Structure 1
């Protein structure tokens, strides 16, 4: 017995000695760096990546297996660029638990690690090759449906098999990650951001036991600009046996600049569970909230508070379906003087790439402040569909805009359909109405339309028909009431304005057909509008009022200053018929000065990027009380170039035709060229409506060839150039009787000023008028003026028409025929007399003044000789000039020479105003 015991002890000691010696020999001879080189070769062969371990691999076996690595890096596939790197990593594993199939790690420490993630233009990530395993990759049939019950059963069965194979138990005492950096570059979108100063800590990590996890870092980037702090805390649980992984009590906070947004902060909270057996994520108490400000193209959104709430939802990876019972989104904030609110509710939803079930939605947007309120609501009936074709029985929208006591309401409803493959959205039966309310009147416009939007083909088509109903008569104002107790009459109430007469004409249906295509590259559109009758006076008053109120709110100081300047300018204009000398002419602005003032005067206009064609046909148009018939136009619009090849209309008794161009190659985008011609144009209603005066009547032939720049009258009037011609075979000048020029006796009493006014007697019926003007910088120079009257004919005319100032300065010679002159009892007549005449002043009150100085030095000097001889004592009248003058003796001559001399002095004084 002792012998066997002795042998056992000796054997055991020998084995121990061998083990110790073997371990010693192993430690003395084992070189882990040799295996590191083999690992580098294996990675290069399998992944075509370069694994580099710069430092020596440190290995310890007792009392724990410890491994320390320094200077480890992994390159991109077939590239020298670094994908991931670690400055230093250390892990220590307990030896004895390995004998019981358990992995106990005392500590894991990684310091100075970095990862560069790149997504190329095709959407592939630079680490995709590390995840793909060709041996395990399933064959994919592009024509097969990925969502079948057999596939789900196969996933469940494979998951159960994995549960049976997983027997290793892991216990990590702690995880410490320091000084990390993760960079992300998206080559398709140009995004370049990184998570720097990354640090992560985890408590004791054990399967099926929750443990704490925390992470901190800083988000940085240039595209978009990012500079924010990141903190995250959660409770994690790993259960590989059941293939379930959970993130509980997740709390992520991001504070700082995130592109155009500044978060104060952006937070994410909730619970997330992943079940690998059924391949589904489950979300509980999910909440995404943002507070801060956002920069937009329309301005800065301040005090923004938004949130997305998901009480319970599930995302199935097998069918790529997101489903839940409730989803809500809320947002509110402020922009300038306006506040906004947004709300979205999905009571129940099931959203997938190829299938949508029982998903209804309600959305509402409100904008209020700055004197206006916008309230819009959209209701979508449950959507049903599969294989990428989705339908809803009803999509309705109700919107109301109120401003300055005026209201616009829109109510639309239509079935809706969407085809995902072609991104085709359609509203095949869109019906509704637009209600306009302004002051005491309202207008209802029923609509019927068909809208088609094909996103993949980039095509939009709209067919719309609108019935323009007349507005009802204004609400009558109550008559003045009498107080029975006091017998006093209440304050007088003004009579209601008479409603505008209803103009009978063509039907009130307007049809619009519009298409838009290639909006991502070279947008092109085609618009065709046909209408029987358009009454813009009933359609546009509210819009003009809205625009006027906004301008008044945005530019109160500018409007007030403009009013003061206008009042000051009108006060400086002398009244017609006064002796005030005309103001000295200001030199016209030079082209160089006008070019310098261009930017200051002309507001900047955004340049269009669309190109297309427009066809217009309107039988009757009512605008500012005027009726325009038979409007037709064809236009082509290209970037910075509008060409109206031809247009025609009937207005003011004439058929007008012409062409219009705006912009063009090498031209400013707001430079225009207009040609217009028409015959039989009634001048009095035309001038009364557009110029504010009506003292010229008759039918005229008008020809215009004008160029200008700018769309605002305050600017294009100063840049107007070109030619204009007006010809009238006959007509009338109202408010002036040019026949008074032939009655010099009366002119002597008024010092040569012709009477003007609205009297019936003050009327000049002329036989012909022909005027030609050349415009430059808004100033029209009179090239030719022919005026023919029974007693007066204009000759040698010159002058200028100042459109920006609204004034006329014309100097002409009025030739008079058979003029009678009598004074001191002596009469004489002049067969032809040229009278210098100046017509000047504002258009609303022209001043007609005879230039006596030129008259005295000219033809009148010879006409006075017989008159003077008749006044001198003892003299005989001179023989009259058959072509010029003829004197007649007075019926009763003065009684004495002294009286005749006095009469002569009075005559000369009255004639020349001295």
Structure 2
């Protein structure tokens, strides 16, 4: 017995000594770098990715297997582009757990980690294969674990008593792994990974999204975790800097959470989230953006849940409509979306937002107290929302309500969808109220507001009776499979029927078609004229009586008002076609009947064709164009229109009467009304028959001038008008005029007025300045018939004499003057031959007898000199002051 025990003890000692010698030999001969090529081969065969280890692998065995690597990179799948890389990594693996297919790792330290995450045009990420087959951590650690296991010496075999210990197993040759281990690595059997903690320093994550075009990166990334293992919660803390190229971003981020994930079940959760971001995020300049709460997602069931979530943002928004002092919050105590079960649950969801726009401030609120939707039933408390805008003298408020939620997950119904809104500006209030039942089919993806009913109420002191209402009914249907929206509205406006139908297709980039038909449409009921109230007189001080009102002064030029901007750039994104037909239409005082037009807007160009109307006993025909660059054009024709009533209603001053045919072909460009006026270019042609020019009577003006000459020495000086007087007019049988405009400056190219007594044509200058509202036109007046017309017999001595008449001044204060100096010597000779100068010479050449004898003159007019007189100069001197010379 003692001999047997002695032999056993000796055998154990021998085995122990042999093991020690074998381990010593292994440590002296094992080179972990010999496995680089084999590891790269295993990774490539499994993932079709290239693994590169540029630095040396350092391995230690006791007390744990320690591994340290440098310069490691992993490529994208089937690509030479780098997916991820690290400058250096260091970790240790426990030996015994490896025997039971568990990877237990001490604290992992990684520096210089970089990753390039890409989403392709189809929405797939470049790490999808790693997530679907096993986690990225396992993908990186499994080959290293395999190499660490390979580093273990083969266990010594012991035989029966007296047997000798087997020699230590030699190190495997380079580029080979034990067959069982190689099979294990190649088969993809998942390890149970247990990491004591991760410490990542100075990391970078680069993001490229080819779907949205976003390009961003996270720099200076530091990550610290607690014990990490699948399906067990662990702490994560991170911080870094977010830099974006599109959209532009430059923000600091910091966060903590308790994370849990299970790659096999594809479940992921983050509890106790606390993330803080500040800096620039696209258009948002965030003073602070905070996310708190709990989130969970299951990829298999497509279930997302959230609890106690708070999203708080403070900052400013840039862009075309900047927002200052922005404060917004989203509170979600409970939210669950389970697409596999068609379930939605919401509890006490609340959204708030407020801030300051350039000319107004806004306040938005939305509340969903309780909402539950499932395949069995849909129910919930009323959902409400409000939007308020204040500023610029306007107040806008809109309230939205959804009540009577019913149906189920497939077909949702609402007993009532309610919209109540209003806009108040000064004394004007516009209110909209609309209700309708609603339904939505989730599977067929279509729904409707089946019975819309409501009214528009306008209150304004300028309206007859102070207010009016527009009741309406209608419907709206949306079909997302057909990608179509259709709505029909029937309304009553001023006791007149109005029908409106609109259809939109391709809703992501909508193409809209509409038809508007009305019996009668008076825009003055919707947009009444603005009445400017006179300011109250100043109050007297200290009980004194108010001072007498001063005499009215001439109106001073009004202070310049900021012109409203015209921006037609929206036409670039509009695809619109429509038809309008209105029996009677009125805009301000202008009225028309049988108005019709066809609209087409596409590719930044708007064209209104088929523009027709019965207008003041005549016809309107033509088209109007506009484009996104604010270029406007008009090609219009007015045929046999009664110009007097038209001009009176259009400008409250009818200076021209008669039946007129007018052709207008003009174009202009600008973003304000003054700019559009200054850019007006084109031609206006007018042909008017049997009418009158009001404000001037050319024949009467000539008679007044003649009488002034006849009575210049009699002491009786008749008045000669020099300003337009609407009590006067020049009748004509025909008037032809062509005016050419060039950037707001008009030139009268043709002017022919034919009257029974007179012929009038244009002279020089002949300009029309619509920018400064000035007229400067010289007309040549010739008496052709003294037997008929306005006082023809009284002008027989002026027959066939051309008299220039100049009309000039502001449009609202025109004046005119006879241009005697422009008659010239030739005209005077013709007048002498016609007998006019004989008449004038008799008046000019006479000297009163009393003055010849030295007596005081009988007339206050000074006696003319006794030397020979120039008749032309005498006429001009005599009329100076009388005719504005």
**Normalising to structure 1: TM-score of the pair?**
0.73
Match of 1:656 in 2: 619
CA contact (8 A) 1:354 1:388 kept: no
Classify the secondary structure of the residue corresponding to 2:112: strand
The offset of 1:517, in angstroms, is 3.2
Q: Which residue of 2 aligns with 1:769?
A: 734
Q: Confirm whether residue 687 of structure 1 aligns to residue 647 of structure 2.
A: yes
CA distance in 1, matches of 2:122, 2:531: 52
The match for 2:431 is 409
How many Å apart are 1:323 and its aligned residue? Answer: 2.2
Cα deviation code 1:471-494 (max 9, x no counterpart):
xxxxxxxxxxxxxxxxxxxxxxxx
**How far apart are residue 751 of structure 1 and its match?**
7.3
Per-residue deviation at 1:48? Answer: 1.5
CA contact (8 A) 1:828 1:867 kept: no
Corresponding position: 1:79 with 2:42: no
1: CA distance between counterparts of 2:701 and 2:128? 101
Aligned to 1:809: 777
Shift of residue 176, structure 1, vs aligned partner: 1.8
Match of 1:428 in 2: 450
State the Cα RMSD in Å: 4.6
Query: What is the CA-CA distance between 1:266 and the residue it aligns to?
Result: 1.4
Deviation at 1:85, TM superposition (A): 2.0
Instruction: Kindly indicate whether residue 297 of structure 2 is the aligned counterpart of residue 336 of structure 1.
Output: no
Q: Say if 2:232 is the partner of 1:216.
A: no
Give the distance between the partners of 1:93 and 1:786, measured in 2 at CA: 110
Q: CA deviation at 1:92?
A: 2.0
User: Cα distance 1:624–1:11, how it changes in 2: closer, same or farther (>3 A)?
Assistant: same
C-alpha distance in 1 between matches for 2:705 and 2:398: 75
1:176 aligns with 2:168: no
* Equivalent in the alignment of 1:44: 44
Aligned residue among 575, 593, 606 for 2:569: 606
Q: What CA deviation, in whole Å up to 9, does each residue of 1:434-474 have, x standing for no partner?
A: 111223622211122222344454433332222113xxxxx
What do residues 56-108 of structure 1 show as CA deviations (whole Å, max 9, x unaligned)? Answer: 33332222222223332221111111112233222223446778998764432
Aligned pairs for 1:699-848 (under 5 A) are: 699-710=658-669, 714-718=674-678, 719-731=680-692, 733=694, 736=697, 738-739=699-700, 741-742=702-703, 746-748=707-709, 749=711, 750=717, 753-754=720-721, 762=728, 764=730, 766=731, 768-777=733-742, 778-789=745-756, 791-794=757-760, 800-804=766-770, 805-815=773-783, 830=797, 832=799, 834=801, 836-842=803-809, 843-848=811-816
Q: How does 1:533-552 map to 2 (within 5 A)?
A: 533-541=520-528
CA deviations over 1:484-509 (Å, ceiling 9, x no partner)? xxxxxxxxxxxxxxxxxxxxxxx511
Alignment pair present for 1:675 and 2:642: no
Q: In structure 2, what is the equivalent of residue 575 of structure 1?
A: none
**Separation of aligned partners in 2, 1:296 and 1:638:** 26
Determine the C-alpha separation between the residues in 2 that align with 1:422 and 1:357. Answer: 21
2:592 aligned partner = 628
Paired residue for 2:394? 372
Match for residue 228 of structure 1 among 251, 254, 262: 251
Write the mapping of 1:268-279 to structure 2, written as runs, cut at 5 A: 268-272=291-295
User: What SS class does the counterpart of residue 799 from structure 2 fall into?
Assistant: strand
Alpha-carbon distance in structure 1 between the residues aligned to 2:593 and 2:720? 43
Structure 1 segment 567-606 matched on structure 2, within 5 A:
567=556, 605-606=568-569
Q: CA deviation at 1:230?
A: 1.7
| 1:292 pairs with one of 310, 315, 318 | 315
Provide closer, same or farther for how the CA distance between residues 801 and 236 of structure 1 changes in structure 2, counting only shifts above 3 A: closer
Question: How far apart, in 2, do the equivalents of 1:782 and 1:514 lie?
Answer: 47
CA distance in 2, matches of 1:278, 1:838: 92
Per the TM alignment, residue 737 of structure 1 is displaced from its structure 2 partner at its CA by: 7.1
Q: Pick closer, same or farther for the CA change 1:37–1:644 going to 2, 3 Å.
A: closer
- 1:412-561 matched pairs, under 5 angstroms: 412-420=434-442, 423-439=445-461, 441-455=466-480, 457-469=482-494, 508-518=496-506, 520=508, 524-541=511-528
Contact conserved, 1:199 with 1:215, CA < 8 A, in 2?
Answer: yes
- Would you say the 8 A contact 2:692–2:729 is kept in 1? no
Q: Is the 8 A contact 1:239 1:245 kept in 2?
A: yes
- Asked whether 1:619 is paired with 2:583, we answer yes
Alpha-carbon distance in 1 for matches of 2:579, 2:688: 32
Give the secondary structure class of the aligned counterpart of 1:38. Answer: helix
Q: Aligned-pair distance for 1:120?
A: 0.8
User: Match for residue 141 of structure 2?
Assistant: none
Q: Please say if residues 355 and 388 of structure 1, whose CA atoms lie closer than 8 Å, have aligned partners that are also in contact.
A: no
State the shift of 1:383 in Å.
4.6
Partner of 1:559: none
Tell me if structure 2 keeps the 8 A contact 1:797–1:813: no
Residue equivalent to 1:158 = none
| Residues 436 and 450 in structure 2, CA contact (< 8 A), matched pair in contact too | yes
Q: 1:623 to 1:238 in 2, by over 3 A?
A: closer
Contact (CA 8 Å) 2:479, 2:485: kept in 1 or not?
A: yes
Structure 1 residues 105-127: Cα deviation after superposition (integer angstroms, max 9, x where no partner): 44322222222221111111212
Cα distance in 2, alignment partners of residues 353 and 406 from structure 1: 49
Q: Is the 8 A contact 1:736 1:755 kept in 2?
A: no
| Partners of 2:258 and 2:272 within 8 A in 1 | yes
Shift of 1:534: 0.8
Q: What secondary structure, in the 3-state scheme, does the structure 1 residue paired with 2:432 have?
A: strand
CA deviations on 1:345-389 (whole Å, 9 max, x unpaired) are 111234689997648532211122332221111112355566755
The answer as to whether partners of 1:601 and 1:715 remain within 8 angstroms in 2 is: no
CA drift of 1:52 comes to 2.2
Alpha-carbon shift at residue 832 of structure 1 (Å): 3.3
Contact kept, 8 Å, 1:782 with 1:799, in 2: the verdict is no
> Are 1:795 and 1:813, in contact at CA under 8 Å, matched by a contact in 2?
yes
Shift of the 425–12 alpha-carbon distance from structure 1 to 2, 3 Å rule, reads: same
The residue that corresponds to 1:260 in the other structure is 283
Change (3 A) 1:531 1:650: same
Distance 2:377 2:212 in 1: 29
Name the structure 1 match of 2:174. Answer: none
Deviation at residue 251 of structure 1 after TM alignment:
1.3
1:289-312 per-residue CA deviation (whole Å, 9 max, x = no partner) reads: 1111222332x2122121211223
8 Å Cα contact 2:664/2:683 also seen in 1? yes
Judge conservation of contact 1:363–1:377 (CA < 8 Å) in 2.
yes
Deviating more after overlay: 305-314 vs 803-812:
803-812
User: Structure 1 residues 36, 352: CA separation in 2 closer, same or farther (over 3 Å shift)?
Assistant: farther
State the distance in 2 between where 1:369 and 1:869 align.
Answer: 76
| Bigger shift: residues 37-46 or 241-250 | 241-250
Distance 1:351 1:261 in 2: 35
Question: How far 1:676 sits from its partner (Å)?
Answer: 0.8
Distance in 2, matches of 1:616 and 1:242, equals 61
Cα distance in structure 1, aligned partners of 2:231 and 2:643: 96
Alignment of 1:59-458 (within 5 A): 59-95=59-95, 105-133=105-133, 173-203=196-226, 212-235=235-258, 247-272=270-295, 283-298=306-321, 300-316=322-338, 318-319=340-341, 321-350=343-372, 358=380, 361-381=383-403, 383-384=405-406, 389-420=411-442, 423-439=445-461, 441-455=466-480, 457-458=482-483
What per-residue deviation string (whole Å, max 9, x for no partner) do you get for residues 126-182 of structure 1? Answer: 122223359xxxxxxxxxxxxxxxxxxxxxxxxxxxxxxx99998754432222222
